[in-house]
Amino acid sequence: MKYDILIGVSIGVFAFLMVLGYNVLPIGLLIVTGFLVWKFVISRQLVKNGNGIAISTTGVDFEDIGGQNVAKKELQEALDFLLYSDRMKVLGIRPLKGILLSGPTGTGKTLLAKAAARYTNSTFLSVSGSEFVEMYAGVGAERVRSLFRRARDMVRKEKKTSAIIFIDEMDILGAKRGSNVSHHEYDQTLNQLLIEMDGLKMDQGAHILVMAATNRPEALDDALLRPGRFDRQVKVDLPDKEGRLAILKIHTTNKPIAQGTRLEEIAHETFGFSGAHLESVTNEAAILALREEANEITERHLREAVEKVMLGEKLDRKPTEEEIRRIAIHESGHAILAESVRPNSVSQVSIRSRGNALGYVRHYPKDDQYLYTQAMLEEQIMVALAGALAEEQLLGARSTGAAGDYEQALNLVEKILQSGMSPLGVTDISRLNADQRQSVTKDILAELEERTMKIIEENKESLLKITEILTTEETLNGDILRTYLKSIA
């Protein structure tokens, strides 16, 4: 992009000087010559020197990676093709050429690739998919050739028998051919990668295994995914509760954790967190302890770190007293409704500003939830609507603070429609026009608003009391909230 701008500006300047009567031909020829020298000599030399390729001796082992037992087991079984290649050859098994790691960001795909290199005692080369893409024809393809040449050279230099080439952001390099219609450099680069993978054989003196990572496997070209190229596809998903606990234990081994700190509770409250999120939680907890000049990290530090990772840092902005009361009513409505439909589900309720939130209620499920019934989705919608309805009940009007809640409620209604749980039944919702979808959505929300308002009216005394306490205390954890609710009842 920057080269396009530079070329465009240069042409404009030359045209302007020519209009003024200056002889710009000698300067123009000099610049064009310099550009051609750069493109065909210097830039190609940079490619041959391995620009963008990181070669490292990794110290990461599979034991250092928590929460991915299934992925590690599947990957280790695939890597045994490298370790026991002679046995495989006797059985007539062709060598494994590629392993694709797919899953959300932050789940440890790069760490798994590094651990694979150590497990197989292989040379490890890593590169990003974006390093191959250039606007000039042939540069990307040459970089692919250079990468495989470099791998073979490093195997000989390090006196090893195998190398692992790890390509991150594979969806950039390996996108479906024809999807980038602006120029064909993408397709040419991908074609070269396919050619190189087809040419990988055990009798070349070094076994090269290509590992790639992506969070968009559906965007990859079909030719990459066929047998003989990426022979194994390993799903690296978000960790479950046991996995999160294992990750927390790994990242707290080098930190002074206070006696009695319940890492199980932190793992329970961090449903949906990736390994990267959990590492950030332990790091932020250590920073909080440092600020307080504490010698140990307590459970309170970890809980506050979870909030920071989820919502952002506390803000210094001070709402007016009227706004504080409205926020307290809003969050109390969420909390009371949540405890009514899903007892013991509130982890914390607060009116302290964090990130874009003026206040928040943090929930955690009884167990990790992967499937939802219609009743569960409706309960979530009611919890989302409760804040605005609590404002309406006590103050007579709603506010703009409910905009995010409405967005969440509409997304949940969309799930109900997609799952065939609406009055329309099982239907292709893409064929519904806007009026039909709006009508069904409005009916669902109207019914749930009515049910939510009824619960709020029945708990009006509790709503007033919790609002008063929250205005004073600013933050209540779930256990204290439930104690107050029981005393009011």
Residue 50: half-sphere exposure toward Cβ, Cα within 13 Å: 15
Least confident of 14-28, 86-100, 340-354, 439-453: 14-28
Domain boundaries, the chain: 2-48, 54-235, 241-311, 321-488
Which residues fall within 8 angstroms of residue 410, CB to CB, at 6 or more apart? Answer: 441
Cα dihedral 365, 369, 373, 378 in deg (nearest 10): 40
**Digit-coded pLDDT (tens) for 441-454:** 999 999 999 999 99
pLDDT at site 197 = 84
pLDDT at site 207 = 83
**Digit-coded pLDDT (tens) for 379-396:** 999 999 999 999 999 999
pLDDT at site 46 = 42
The closest alpha carbon to 124, from 115, 135, 137, belongs to 115
pLDDT at 485 exceeding the cut of 70: yes
Query: Which CATH number applies to 241-311?
Result: 1.10.8.60
Place of tokens 């709503």: 463
The closest alpha carbon to 334, from 354, 355, 351, belongs to 351
Catalytic residue numbers, as ranges? 331
pLDDT at site 27 = 66
pLDDT at 65 exceeding the cut of 60: yes
Whether this prediction's pTM lies above 0.85 is answered by no
CATH architecture of 54-235: 3-Layer(aba) Sandwich (3.40)
User: Average pLDDT in the 335-339 region?
Assistant: 94
Least confident of 82-86, 153-157, 300-304, 440-444: 82-86
Check: CB of residue 72 under 8 Å from CB of residue 62.
Answer: yes
Domain 321-488 has CATH 2.10.69.10: no
Which residues fall within 8 angstroms of residue 464, CB to CB, at 6 or more apart? Answer: 394
**What's the distance, Cα to Cα, between the start and end of the chain in Å?**
65
The pLDDT confidence band at residue 465, using thresholds 50, 70 and 90, is: very high
d(CA 187, CA 183): 9
pLDDT at 1 exceeding the cut of 60: no
As given in the structure block, the two tokens for residue 103 are 């899953």
pLDDT at 489 exceeding the cut of 60: yes
User: Average pLDDT in the 176-193 region?
Assistant: 70
- Tell me how far CA of residue 418 lies from CA of 370, 404, 427, in angstroms: 16, 21, 8
**Digit-coded pLDDT (tens) for 194-214:** 888 887 765 456 788 899 999
pLDDT at 48 exceeding the cut of 70: no
d(CA 52, CA 50): 6
Residue 370: half-sphere exposure toward Cβ, Cα within 13 Å: 5
Check: CB of residue 361 under 8 Å from CB of residue 334.
Answer: yes
The mean predicted confidence, pLDDT, of the chain is: 83
pLDDT at 45 exceeding the cut of 60: no
User: Average pLDDT in the 332-347 region?
Assistant: 92
H or E segment at 172?
helix 170-173
